[in-house]
Amino acid sequence: MDSAIEAVAEALAGATSVVVLTGAGISAESGLRTFRETMEGLWKDFDPMTLATPEAWEADPEKVSRWYDWRRLGCLAADPNPGHVALAQMESRLNARGGRFTLLTQNVDRLHHKAGSRNIVELHGSIIQWRCTVCGAKTTPGPESLPKFPPPATCCAASHRGLLRPDVVWFGEMLPEEALAAASEAVATCDLFLSIGTSSIVQPAASYILWAARRGAETVEINTEPTPISDTVDWSIMGKSGEALPNLVRAAFAG
């Protein structure tokens, strides 16, 4: 077995509080496109500034809502892969022996929920849920395409009716306060931090591993490519998370 996996398995077996941060790469093996990869990434075909900002929504809510509804249906159709499943197993094995596990995800696809993870902090919201632009009421549309674009909300009185927008965090928007608080608290107390399938570029998520390291936590990255944090982590595992994570969980919790 890869010597980095063996070393991380040992750290995991002795850890009492583990934080995992995931990005789009963990869902790539479920068939969902990442954002920034040169061949596969969504931003290769779509301009984020015209789709993933509040200004884009203001300028063209029809285009933005159509794009997000297309992606929502893709997420609903996707299944978790062995990487997601291994993280759910990691959580239950740690919890069973009194350890703590927090999963910070930048992903909006809800595949960690489908895989059975429990203590999930959605840093960038969820594409499965949409919210009213007037009152903020949340709704979970069904598995068929939305009937109208932009979708009208039905929660408010007709005189000041809003639109439904995806409940995701766009560039320039604040992350949900509860998510920020939960993430800070978990990072402040963890002894092991794993960063999985993220390019480690988008803030504030990319800073959490640096805070954890500064506090003395051991740090791990699992990614198919080097990222800005690869040289600073204690262990860098180069490979697919859908392969590395099941190996890691097997090695850490064997027997």
Residues in the site for ligand BJW, rule: CB under 6 A?
23-25, 28-29, 34-37, 41, 52, 106, 108, 124, 127, 168-175, 197-199, 201-204, 222-225, 227, 240-242
Nearest-CA neighbor of 234 among 217, 214, 220? 220
Nearer to ligand BJW, 29 or 234 (CB): 29
Shortest gap between Cβ of 240 and ligand BJW (angstroms)?
4
Shortest gap between Cβ of 185 and ligand BJW (angstroms)?
18
List of residues 6+ apart from 73 with CB closer than 8 A: 143, 145
Distances from the Cα of 4 to the Cαs of 102, 221, 242, 248, in angstroms? Answer: 22, 10, 16, 10
Nearer to ligand BJW, 30 or 102 (CB): 30
List of residues 6+ apart from 232 with CB closer than 8 A: 210, 213, 219
List of residues 6+ apart from 181 with CB closer than 8 A: none
For residue 32, give both structure tokens: 């969902």
Please say if 84 is a catalytic residue: no
> How many CB atoms neighbour CB 124 within 10 A?
21
What is the phi/psi pair of residue 138, to 5°?
-100, 150
Nearer to ligand BJW, 17 or 89 (CB): 89
Give CA–CA dist 171/196, Å, rounded: 21
Shortest gap between Cβ of 224 and ligand BJW (angstroms)?
4
Nearer to ligand BJW, 152 or 239 (CB): 239
Shortest gap between Cβ of 228 and ligand BJW (angstroms)?
10
Catalytically annotated residue among 84, 112, 124, 160: 124
Nearest-CA neighbor of 109 among 98, 123, 97, 96? 123
Shortest gap between Cβ of 105 and ligand BJW (angstroms)?
8
Nearer to ligand BJW, 156 or 238 (CB): 238
Closest residue to ligand BJW, judged by C-beta, is 25
First to last CA, the chain: 17
Strand partners, 235: 220
For the annotated catalytic residues, the residue numbers are: 124
